[in-house]
């Protein structure tokens, strides 16, 4: 009966709805919702005094309903009884402290009360309505200029909207008013960090730590990020450890610490921490997990089947499938679970018995499972013990033969790539303009072949002089096609994408163009790779400075290859 009555009410059939509510009350005199809804009809019909009486009956039955008190406040406001209306809105908030509608009504009646404006802003902020939240935070600050919490929250909301400079002014005002306000110090540090000012960020984090109450893990974590940006890796490792000490389950801090340990060559310390990657939400959302499949710890399992699950990017899979031979030595059968686009290439692995696309039924055929990037830790890999049986991948012979006639027999043949997966968070930094490769055509006897795939391939046709580069990209359907082309080339020159791992795994000469940010796989300095003996690394020394990198590439081609 109530559902039908509400439908009539929503359709504007007020008289019919009112009769239905009355019928409900005849059968159930203490039906609070019916009293409340009859009161709303009276309010909508302009019978305000009847509305007050009816809603008060509802409140007598259910005094804890914030909606009832809010409705009563609206009716009292319509009667001009502002004092009673405010009292009702306050009662609604007492029953539900995050009741936005009651705060809106109060803010309309009492726009000069900072606490009301502040609380409403907090609710709007939590609901993602940042524009309105800023309006009410600003009002709270105007009414109470020394309210440092309102200043801090205003800064956070502005920062979320990309208004970094304005946010900074709020934080600075807050810490000037309250130097021991750790939260504002921390947020000021984050603002400096977003602006690339790591040194000032670190200073604010130091001050925030001195006055912090409760857990300081997130402060230590961001302090570590700032130190890492400055290349102070040992100090950053310690700050990550401090973050973990305060919050042992802080997966991000543990993983970042492990990556820095790997970057600085401390592999044995790093691998146990690196396993925490599997507890991060981004990892869990991207990788299938089979909870009923026992985890393999490296123990010998003769005659048993191990499911090895590829993870992360294509390059990671290509790099770490070298460990399958070590797995095969300790068990009877190996199933590799990997993206289908890699299957034509990976079927050349001699240590693999079966390959499958990710699917739960794979786990049903295995005795134990392991994720691919856990294998270096299981085998206690150090820089000195990286498996170096290269090449460990091979291009299909029939495809290699097919491409032989397409590659020039005269000159020095180079395959080039200027961009990686556009979904990669650092792709804009690791990519360069294809025009840099066009400049290599000025060298005598050089033939260039584009192996670029994806949206970035279109940039070649927009590049002056692009006609001198043979575009093979449209004919490369999977990694085995690309591998076959590479086997017919003299050299691959590429930014840091899966392609450099492919060339390295094939044992072909490859020059990797690495952007300025260090990555543990390539170390911090030097031209050689511990993972691929045929690789040479050309590093940026300043963010975005590809010009210098390509001048170096040109020089080395002249000196080492073409002379």
- 290/355 Cα distance (integer angstroms): 17
Neighbours of 501 (CB within 10 A): 27
Q: Shortest CA distance to 436 belongs to which of 455, 409, 414, 463?
A: 463
pLDDT number for residue 279: 95
Q: Each residue of 460-509: pLDDT tens digit?
A: 888 887 888 999 999 999 999 999 999 999 999 999 999 999 999 999 99
pLDDT > 80? residue 91: yes
pLDDT > 90? residue 560: no
The CA-based angle 156-157-158, given to 5 degrees, is: 95
What's the mean pLDDT in 356-367? Answer: 96
Residue 417 DSSP code: E
Provide the token pair at 83: 């004092």
Is residue 423 very low, low, confident or very high in pLDDT (cuts 50, 70, 90)? confident
Question: What 3-state class would DSSP assign to 523?
Answer: strand
pLDDT > 80? residue 562: no
pLDDT > 80? residue 347: yes
Would you say 230 and 239 are in contact if contact means Cβ atoms under 8 Å apart?
no
Mean pLDDT of the chain: 94
Rg (CA), the chain: 33
- 184/235 Cα distance (integer angstroms): 24
Would you say 446 and 558 are in contact if contact means Cβ atoms under 8 Å apart?
no
Q: Each residue of 152-199: pLDDT tens digit?
A: 999 999 999 999 999 999 999 999 999 999 999 999 999 999 999 999
Is residue 241 very low, low, confident or very high in pLDDT (cuts 50, 70, 90)? very high
pLDDT number for residue 511: 98
- 218/240 Cα distance (integer angstroms): 9
Q: Shortest CA distance to 392 belongs to which of 324, 466, 314?
A: 324
Answer positive or negative: Cα dihedral of 19, 24, 30, 31: negative
Q: Each residue of 10-19: pLDDT tens digit?
A: 999 999 999 9
Q: Shortest CA distance to 155 belongs to which of 129, 136, 137, 131?
A: 137
- 255/492 Cα distance (integer angstroms): 32
pLDDT number for residue 181: 96
pLDDT number for residue 299: 97
pTM listed for this prediction: 0.84
Domains, the chain, in order of start with CATH, read: 2-185 (1.25.40.10), 222-285 (1.25.40.10), 290-385 (3.40.50.20), 397-561 (3.40.50.2000)
The answer for 231, left when phi > 0, alpha when psi is -120 to 50, beta otherwise, is left
The CA-based angle 498-500-502, given to 5 degrees, is: 70
pLDDT number for residue 342: 97
145-157 as b/e, with b when 16 or more CB fall inside 10 Å? Answer: eebbbbbbbbbbb
List, in sequence order, every residue forming a beta bridge with 323; answer none if it has no partner: none
Residue 519 DSSP code: B
What angle separates helix 66-78 from helix 48-61, to the nearest 10 degrees? 160
pLDDT number for residue 397: 95
What's the mean pLDDT in 324-350? Answer: 96
pLDDT number for residue 465: 79
Q: Each residue of 25-66: pLDDT tens digit?
A: 999 999 999 999 999 999 999 999 999 999 999 999 999 999
pLDDT number for residue 424: 84
Residue 513 DSSP code: E
Q: Each residue of 93-136: pLDDT tens digit?
A: 999 999 999 999 999 889 999 999 999 999 999 999 999 999 99
Do the bridges between strand 354-356 and strand 331-337 make them parallel or antiparallel, or are there none, so unpaired? parallel
- 21/78 Cα distance (integer angstroms): 23
pLDDT number for residue 438: 92
265-296 as b/e, with b when 16 or more CB fall inside 10 Å? Answer: bebeebbebbbbbbeeeebeeebeebeebeeb
pLDDT number for residue 4: 92
pLDDT number for residue 150: 97
Residue 492 DSSP code: E
């Amino acid at each position: 009966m109530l559902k039908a009555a509400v439908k009539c009410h929503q359709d504007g059939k007020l008289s019919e709805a009112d009769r239905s509510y009355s019928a409900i009350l005849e059968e159930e005199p203490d039906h609070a919702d019916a009293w409340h809804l009859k009161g709303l009809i009276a309010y909508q019909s302009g019978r305000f005094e009847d509305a007050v009486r009816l809603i008060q009956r509802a409140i007598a039955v259910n005094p804890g309903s914030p909606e009832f008190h809010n409705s009563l406040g609206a009716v009292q406001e319509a009667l001009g009884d502002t004092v009673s209306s405010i009292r009702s809105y306050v009662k609604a908030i007492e029953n539900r402290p995050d009741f936005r509608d009651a705060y809106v009504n109060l803010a309309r009646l009492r726009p000069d009360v900072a606490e009301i404006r502040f609380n409403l802003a907090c609710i709007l902020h939590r609901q993602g309505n940042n524009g309105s939240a800023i309006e009410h935070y600003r009002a709270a600050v105007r009414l109470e200029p020394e309210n440092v919490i309102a200043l801090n929250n205003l800064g956070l909301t502005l920062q979320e909207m990309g208004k970094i400079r304005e946010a900074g002014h709020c934080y600075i005002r807050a810490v000037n008013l309250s130097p021991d306000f750790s939260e504002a110090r921390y947020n000021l540090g984050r603002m400096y960090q977003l602006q690339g000012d790591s040194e000032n960020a670190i200073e604010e984090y130091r001050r925030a730590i001195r006055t912090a109450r409760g857990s300081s893990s997130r402060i230590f974590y961001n302090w570590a990020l700032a130190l890492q940006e400055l290349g102070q890796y040992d100090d950053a490792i310690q700050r990550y450890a401090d973050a973990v000490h305060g919050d042992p389950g802080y997966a991000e801090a543990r993983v970042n610490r492990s990556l820095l340990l790997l970057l600085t060559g401390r592999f044995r310390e790093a691998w146990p921490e690196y396993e925490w990657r599997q507890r991060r939400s981004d990892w869990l959302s991207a990788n299938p997990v089979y909870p009923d499949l026992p985890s393999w710890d490296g123990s010998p399992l003769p005659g048993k089947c191990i499911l090895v699950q590829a993870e992360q990017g294509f390059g990671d899979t290509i790099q770490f499938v070298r460990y399958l031979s070590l797995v095969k030595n300790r068990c009877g059968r190996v199933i590799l679970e990997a993206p289908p686009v890699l299957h034509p290439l990976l079927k050349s692995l001699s240590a693999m018995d079966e390959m499958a696309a990710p699917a739960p039924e794979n786990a049903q055929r295995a005795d134990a499972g392991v994720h691919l990037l856990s294998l270096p830790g299981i085998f206690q890999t150090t820089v000195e013990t990286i498996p170096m049986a290269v090449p460990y991948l091979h291009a299909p012979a029939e495809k290699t033969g097919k491409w032989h006639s397409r590659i020039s027999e005269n000159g020095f043949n180079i395959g080039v790539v200027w961009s990686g997966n556009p979904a990669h968070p650092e792709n804009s930094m690791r990519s360069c303009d294809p025009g840099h490769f066009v400049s290599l055509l000025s060298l005598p006897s050089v033939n260039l072949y584009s192996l670029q795939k994806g949206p970035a391939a279109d940039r070649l046709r927009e590049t002056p002089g692009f006609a001198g580069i043979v575009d093979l990209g449209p004919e490369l359907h999977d990694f085995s096609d690309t591998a076959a082309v590479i086997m017919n080339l003299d050299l691959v020159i590429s930014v840091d994408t899966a392609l450099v791992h492919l060339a390295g795994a094939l044992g072909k000469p490859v020059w990797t163009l690495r952007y300025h940010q260090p990555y543990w796989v390539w170390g911090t300095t030097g031209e050689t790779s511990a993972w691929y003996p045929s690789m040479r690394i050309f590093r940026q020394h300043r963010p975005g400075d590809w010009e210098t990198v390509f001048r170096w590439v040109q020089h080395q081609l002249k000196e080492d290859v073409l002379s």
